[in-house]
Amino acid sequence: KTGSPSHLKGILGKITYTKEVINMISGLKRFDKSEVANQRLKIIKFYDLHGEATTKEAFGVNRKTIYVWKKKLKLSLGKLTSLIPNSTKPKRTRGMETNPKIFKFIKSLREKYPKLGKEKIYPLLVAFCEKENIKPIKISTIGKVIKRNNLFYQKAGRMYHNPASKYARRKKTSNT
């Protein structure tokens, strides 16, 4: 009968089963892509067949390391994706904190004078910080503030610095 509790239970059981199969297949795909995980599984199998001394000689891996890998595999109920190494990136990194008044000052200077660099901003910033009674930041930090906050306001187009260049000496034609 459709609609009976036993029929629904059978359908729901199939749904969870298919989810498990899909998860298993995606896990196997991830495992296949990871050369490190494949190597670890190969070492574990080699260890089970040949023992500690031969494995250490062949792969240079300690017994302790192999047991850590085996434990991970056992705790994950045999999921091969557990052999994929975790990220070693720090979970939290320190971010640069700059006083908001200093940031606003640098931003306003860069908007008004887009070609003003960090070295020329520094003496102006020191004077501003003395007036505001704030500890000034160093030249390198000014450069980081400009770069990280994308404080580049130059107009698009060709710029020249040498007045003797051909580009600067070219004759401008009038459209009259």
Tens of pLDDT, residues 54-100: 988 888 988 999 999 999 988 888 777 788 888 888 889 888 899 99
pLDDT recorded at residue 120:
94
Q: Mapping DSSP to helix (H, G, I), strand (E, B) and coil, where does residue 85 land?
A: coil
Asked, for residue 72, whether it belongs to a domain, the answer is: yes
Q: Does residue 70 sit in the same domain as residue 114?
A: no
Q: What is the pLDDT of residues 92-131, one digit of tens each?
A: 988 889 999 999 999 999 999 888 899 999 999 999 999 9
Q: Does residue 67 sit in the same domain as residue 109?
A: no
Asked, for residue 153, whether it belongs to a domain, the answer is: no
Asked, for residue 155, whether it belongs to a domain, the answer is: no
Q: Does residue 75 sit in the same domain as residue 114?
A: no
Looking at the structure of the chain, the number of domains it has is 2
Q: How far is CA 163 from CA 36, 117, 167, in A?
A: 59, 20, 8
Q: Does residue 113 sit in the same domain as residue 58?
A: no
More confident residue, 111 or 170: 111
Q: What is the longest distance spanned by two Cα atoms in the chain?
A: 93
Asked, for residue 26, whether it belongs to a domain, the answer is: yes
Q: Please give the residue range of the domain that contains residue 124.
A: 100-148
Q: Does residue 47 sit in the same domain as residue 109?
A: no
Q: Would you say the pTM of this structure is higher than 0.75?
A: no
**Band of pLDDT at residue 21, cut at 50, 70 and 90:** low
More confident residue, 83 or 165: 83
Asked, for residue 70, whether it belongs to a domain, the answer is: yes
Q: How far is CA 104 from CA 56, 110, 122, 128, 168, in A?
A: 60, 10, 14, 11, 35
Asked, for residue 158, whether it belongs to a domain, the answer is: no
Asked, for residue 172, whether it belongs to a domain, the answer is: no
Q: Does residue 143 sit in the same domain as residue 111?
A: yes
Asked, for residue 169, whether it belongs to a domain, the answer is: no
Query: What phi, psi does 78 have (nearest 5°)?
Result: 85, 10
Q: Mapping DSSP to helix (H, G, I), strand (E, B) and coil, where does residue 76 land?
A: coil
pLDDT recorded at residue 3:
47
Mean pLDDT, the chain, integer: 81
Q: Does residue 79 sit in the same domain as residue 116?
A: no
More confident residue, 62 or 156: 62
Q: Does residue 29 sit in the same domain as residue 67?
A: yes
